[in-house]
Amino acid sequence: MEEDGVKSWVMAVTAQTPTNIAVIKYWGKRDESLILPINDSISITLDPAHLCTTTSVAVSPSFTHDRMWLNGKEISLSGGRFQNCLRELRSRANDVEDVEKGVKIAKKDWDNMHVHIVSYNNFPTAAGLASSAAGLACLVFSLAKLMNVKEDHSTLSAIARQGSGSACRSLYGGFVKWIMGKEENGSDSIAVQLADEKHWDDLVIIIAVVSSRQKETSSTSGMRDTVETSALVEHRAKVVVPKRIIQMEEAIKNRDFPAFAALTCADSNQFHAVALDTCPPIFYMNDTSHRQVLFLIISRVEKWNRFEGTPQVAYTFDAGPNAVLISRDRKTAALLLQRLLFYFPPQSETDLNSYVIGDKTILQDAG
Ligand code: DP6
């Protein structure tokens, strides 16, 4: 680092990371601090045009401590999760040089350098649209670039996992599996890409944003309560999900929509069943009193699938009331949207805000 004008430079990196929607859900940890799950999970990474986080990270000798702003508001970085990610990244940082600015940060200096992070979600935060997945994945990805961390995506996924479990899956596009792993230190609890975004590009995802309100029970505390109190969750993790993971991988490989839809809907239903089996029970699907809309969406999709003779649409709900609908192709998606707009017009008495249409995508760099 130069002695002259040492406080005058800033080095920055910006990246964009999409969110992901689980079709076989992660719900429950076996290790809270390392964020190790009790079962494997599989997700689809979405198109960043509609649901993504954009994060800029900067380093400067004038920064006196680490700071972060989320959607324009400063948030605390004192939590263990952020510190764990930062520690993992700092320990892998390398020399960084900006020839134009004439500055260099040596590998050994990263321990004493502070970062500022500015993050923006282009969708409602903490409303069950996997904002933490996109947010933490983007934070790890952009800091890794800034610090010239040379590790591959699977190592970065293990770091992002320590920020928020589902974040590890957002490091890849297309269809992604988070392997629960066996090691106590979590080294084998990583995300792998099952198929890239081009593999099954007929699928179209429509998200009915029923409420952009923050959920009442966070995923973190909800799944902790489930693991502690549900009698069903062990059966789910040990018996049901392992079989479903094999079947889902097969369905994705063969682009078998009926199998994919059956597994996706069944796993969403079971996730909400274990949430309900928690003490006290967790009602993600009706926590904003839009229960009727949600059940109508489910029953309409099921009626439609039965009417067509073969599934055309799958539904899944995360830890929030927003329906994620996956249609088998663009024609079906157009028809589905038409019907949704007819039966559930946005801004009606049901408080449905909007529909977001997403595709699968690859991880993109904003440059
Ligand atoms: C229902 O990844 O948000 O979306 O690891 O505690 O941060 P933490 O939880 P989080 O949980 C996501 C739960 C889910 C299912 C899923 O994405 O697999």
CA of 34 to the centre of ligand 1 (A): 14
Average pLDDT value for residue range 300-316: 87
Higher pLDDT, 359 or 347: 347
Q: Which two tokens stand for residue 17?
A: 């990371």
Report which secondary-structure segment, H or E, holds 120.
Answer: strand 115-121
Task: Quick: pLDDT tens for 242-260.
Answer: 999 999 999 999 999 999 9
**338, pLDDT greater than 70:** yes
Higher pLDDT, 276 or 298: 276
CA of 38 to the centre of ligand 1 (A): 12
From the alpha carbon of 271, which atom of ligand 1 is closest?
1
**367, pLDDT greater than 60:** no
Predicted model pTM: 0.91
CA of 218 to the centre of ligand 1 (A): 9
Residue of 19, 26, 171 to mutate, ligand 1, most atoms within 8 A of C-beta: 26
pLDDT attached to residue 341: 83
Spell out the alpha helix ranges (H) of 254-350: 257-276, 291-308, 330-343
Residue nearest to atom 7 of ligand 1 (CA): 164
Residue nearest to atom 5 of ligand 1 (CA): 165
Task: Quick: pLDDT tens for 56-94.
Answer: 999 999 999 999 999 899 999 888 899 999 999 999 999
Q: Is 23 helix (H, G, I), strand (E, B) or coil?
A: strand
By CB neighbour count within 10 A (0-12 exposed, 13-18 middle, 19+ buried), where does 155 fall? middle
Q: Which two tokens stand for residue 338?
A: 């038409």
Q: What are the Cα distances from residue 209, in Å, to 51, 105, 344, 353?
A: 12, 44, 11, 6
Average pLDDT value for residue range 271-289: 83
Q: Is 204 helix (H, G, I), strand (E, B) or coil?
A: strand
Average pLDDT, rounded, for the chain: 87
Residue of 219, 263, 322 to mutate, ligand 1, most atoms within 8 A of C-beta: 219
pLDDT attached to residue 289: 43
**Beta carbons within 10 angstroms of residue 204's beta carbon:** 23
CA of 167 to the centre of ligand 1 (A): 8
Residue nearest to atom 11 of ligand 1 (CA): 219
Q: Residues lining ligand 1, judged by CB closer than 6 Å? A: 22, 25-27, 35, 41, 130, 132, 164-166, 219-220, 318-319
From the alpha carbon of 218, which atom of ligand 1 is closest?
3
Residue nearest to atom 4 of ligand 1 (CA): 318
Average pLDDT value for residue range 177-206: 95
From the alpha carbon of 163, which atom of ligand 1 is closest?
7
CA of 22 to the centre of ligand 1 (A): 9
CA of 67 to the centre of ligand 1 (A): 24
CA of 190 to the centre of ligand 1 (A): 15
From the alpha carbon of 21, which atom of ligand 1 is closest?
17
Spatial strand order of the sheet with 11-18 comes to 11-18, 52-59, 115-121, 67-70, 73-75
Percentage of the chain modeled with pLDDT above 70: 86
